[in-house]
């Protein structure tokens, strides 16, 4: 991994004996205790985990829950350990290339060759060792990896020192080719710092829900909202926000990625913590593909790339034909796949220059999918009362997005909603309204805001009207023109 003539400098542990036990026996015993009380592994294997970096007595249980989501028998090509700097600020990131890392459990190899290639590929990435030597956010993750993984591994240690979102985007651009199943990403962050216990639980949940939407701008809006809300004692709602933001930039356009909550506690939950007026929050979050990939969605419906093209062509041709004064063609079904002949609800959204130009849908699957697509596409182009009808001059500028819907599922509580996965439908008497799953992603709303806006803006029954209404969720397969 490095030239045999080069003298390397092992990065010695900086917080052993402070954040975690400084001797091998004590550290191993502590890790055994933490993993024995960790949350159960979710189904699927993680491409990334978000893990806290405080002292093990406070956050170690949550960290163990995060690493429980990693396959202990997998042989990873590289493990990217990414944390935000607590001591240095500069517009970029540091990758340690001067040697390996050491903990009380032994030495952790650094892939120096690959690290230097990252530095050569991006002007915002350097090998500043001062940002690494005393930084604890990476170090505290390593004993968990050493204890949990059964195969040898090597790391690429990255400390992000910038406070610029645009720089995080550039760093993510360089890292994106490495975000593959053969690698693992460990993102180090704590959540809220120093509010009271109840405020911490509420704020941390809002921040976590913003992360679950896999929308970088939504996370930034959520952080700004919380940190300007005048919450007593709050100094930050996400101390490693630049590291988490970099991860979101990595994953935002990858089809099938899902963020899932694994565990939550704050320092007020630690044994012997009687004063809960100033606490720090910790979440474990797993990032991976949905259990069914490629052309099979979580709904169970299967669409090949050819099917998707046919649906988009049907929608576009139906609009063109209607604008020319004709009727939809009623395309024969002889050569269509079985997937296009099934019955499902549909929404068709039209965009022009990135802005919504029309959106209409139907939950009732009273026609086959290929028939309903044409009907709804025409309705979206001429019957959305929020917009004037689409003109012939606009058709070439339109981008079409089709949402194929699963059946409605009645729910009893807002907590059952998974942002970014579920759309919502509210019904009270003759009033009803819906938001597609992607609305939560685009707005960065919390679950409560998602429901309140739908209740008020779509169903017209007021922000709290949903409390006396029927509440449903559904999922959507998104098929869109690029």
> Pick the residue with more confidence: 283 or 182?
283
What average pLDDT does range 413-424 have in this prediction? 91
pLDDT > 50? residue 1: no
pLDDT > 90? residue 373: yes
pLDDT, residue 4, reads: 46
Indicate the CATH number of 305-404 among 3.40.50.261, 3.30.700.20, 3.40.50.2000, 3.40.50.300.
3.30.700.20
pLDDT > 60? residue 259: yes
Question: What φ, ψ does residue 62 adopt, rounded to 5°?
Answer: -70, -40
Give the fold, CATH level 3, of 409-478: Dna Ligase; domain 1 (3.30.1490)
pLDDT > 70? residue 13: yes
- pLDDT tens digits, residue range 464-475? 999 999 999 998
- pLDDT tens digits, residue range 143-175? 999 999 999 999 999 999 999 999 999 999 999
For the chain, what is the mean pLDDT? 90
pLDDT > 50? residue 182: yes
Give the start-to-end residue ranges of the domains of the chain: 24-289, 305-404, 409-478
pLDDT, residue 327, reads: 58
Give the fold, CATH level 3, of 24-289: Protocatechuate 4,5-dioxygenase; Chain B (3.40.830)
Task: Find all residues with CB under 8 Å of 416, minimum gap 6, and list them.
Answer: 473
A 10 A CB-CB count for 22 gives 14
Reference 2, options 142, 128, 98; nearest CA is: 98
Q: What does the block give as tokens for 83?
A: 């944390």
pLDDT, residue 6, reads: 59
**pLDDT class for 293, splitting at 50, 70, 90?**
very low
- pLDDT tens digits, residue range 90-133? 999 999 999 999 999 999 999 999 999 999 999 999 999 999 99
Task: Find all residues with CB under 8 Å of 149, minimum gap 6, and list them.
Answer: 70, 72, 74, 76
Helix (H) or strand (E) holding 197: helix 197-212
What average pLDDT does range 236-256 have in this prediction? 92
What average pLDDT does range 21-37 have in this prediction? 95
**pLDDT class for 30, splitting at 50, 70, 90?**
very high
What average pLDDT does range 367-388 have in this prediction? 93
pTM of the model: 0.63
Measured between alpha carbons, how far is residue 272 from residues 62, 239, 276 in Å? Answer: 17, 25, 11
pLDDT > 50? residue 25: yes
pLDDT > 50? residue 458: yes
pLDDT, residue 44, reads: 65
Task: Note whether 355 and 369 are within 8 A (CB).
Answer: no
Burial of 480 (0-12, 13-18, 19+ CB in 10 A): middle
Task: Note whether 338 and 353 are within 8 A (CB).
Answer: no
The rounded Cα 262 to chain-centroid distance in angstroms is: 13
- pLDDT tens digits, residue range 33-65? 999 988 777 756 799 999 999 999 999 999 999
The rounded Cα 288 to chain-centroid distance in angstroms is: 9
**pLDDT class for 335, splitting at 50, 70, 90?**
low
């Amino acid at each position: 991994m490095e030239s045999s003539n080069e003298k390397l400098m092992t990065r010695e542990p900086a917080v052993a004996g402070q954040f975690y036990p400084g001797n091998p026996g004590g550290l191993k015993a502590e890790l055994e205790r933490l993993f024995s009380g960790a949350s159960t592994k979710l189904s699927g294997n993680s491409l990334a985990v978000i893990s806290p970096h405080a002292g093990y007595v406070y956050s170690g249980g949550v960290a163990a829950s995060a690493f429980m989501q990693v396959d202990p028998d997998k042989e990873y090509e590289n493990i990217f350990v990414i944390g935000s700097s607590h001591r240095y600020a500069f517009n970029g990131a540091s990758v340690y290339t001067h040697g390996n890392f050491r903990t009380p459990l032994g030495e952790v190899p650094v892939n120096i060759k690959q690290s230097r290639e990252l530095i050569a590929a991006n002007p915002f990435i350097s090998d500043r060792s001062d940002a690494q030597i005393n930084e604890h956010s990476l170090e505290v993750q390593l004993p968990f990896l050493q204890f949990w993984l059964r195969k040898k591994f090597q790391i690429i240690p990255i400390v992000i020192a910038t406070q610029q979102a645009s720089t995080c985007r550039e760093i993510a651009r360089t890292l994106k080719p490495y975000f593959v199943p053969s690698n693992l990403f460990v993102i180090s962050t704590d959540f809220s710092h120093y509010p009271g216990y109840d405020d911490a639980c509420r704020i941390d949940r809002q921040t976590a829900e913003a992360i679950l939407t896999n929308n970088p701008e939504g996370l930034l809006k959520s952080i700004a909202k919380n940190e300007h809300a005048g919450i007593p004692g709050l100094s930050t709602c996400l101390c490693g926000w630049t590291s988490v933001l970099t991860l979101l930039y990595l994953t935002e356009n990858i089809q099938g990625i899902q963020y899932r909550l694994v565990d939550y506690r704050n320092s007020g939950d630690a044994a012997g913590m009687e004063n809960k007026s100033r606490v720090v929050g910790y979440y474990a979050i797993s990032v991976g593909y949905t259990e069914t990939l490629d052309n099979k969605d979580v709904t169970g419906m299967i669409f090949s790339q050819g099917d998707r093209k046919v649906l988009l062509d049907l929608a576009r041709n139906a609009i063109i034909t209607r604008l020319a004064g004709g009727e939809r063609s009623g395309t024969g079904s002889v050569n269509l796949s079985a997937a296009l002949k099934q019955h499902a609800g549909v929404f068709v959204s039209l965009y022009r220059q990135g802005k919504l130009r029309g959106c209409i849908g139907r939950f009732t699957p009273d026609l086959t999918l290929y028939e309903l697509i044409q009907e709804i596409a025409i309705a979206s182009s001429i019957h959305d009362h929020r917009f004037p009808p689409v003109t012939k001059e606009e058709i070439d500028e339109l981008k079409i997005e089709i949402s194929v819907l699963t059946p409605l599922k009645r729910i009893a509580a807002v907590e059952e909603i998974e942002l970014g996965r579920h759309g919502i439908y509210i019904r009270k008497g003759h009033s009803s309204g819906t938001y597609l799953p992607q609305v939560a992603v685009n707005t960065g709303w919390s679950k409560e805001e998602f429901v309140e806006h739908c209740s008020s803006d779509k169903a017209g029954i007021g922000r709290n009207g949903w409390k006396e209404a029927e509440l449903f969720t559904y999922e959507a397969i998104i098929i869109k023109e690029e």
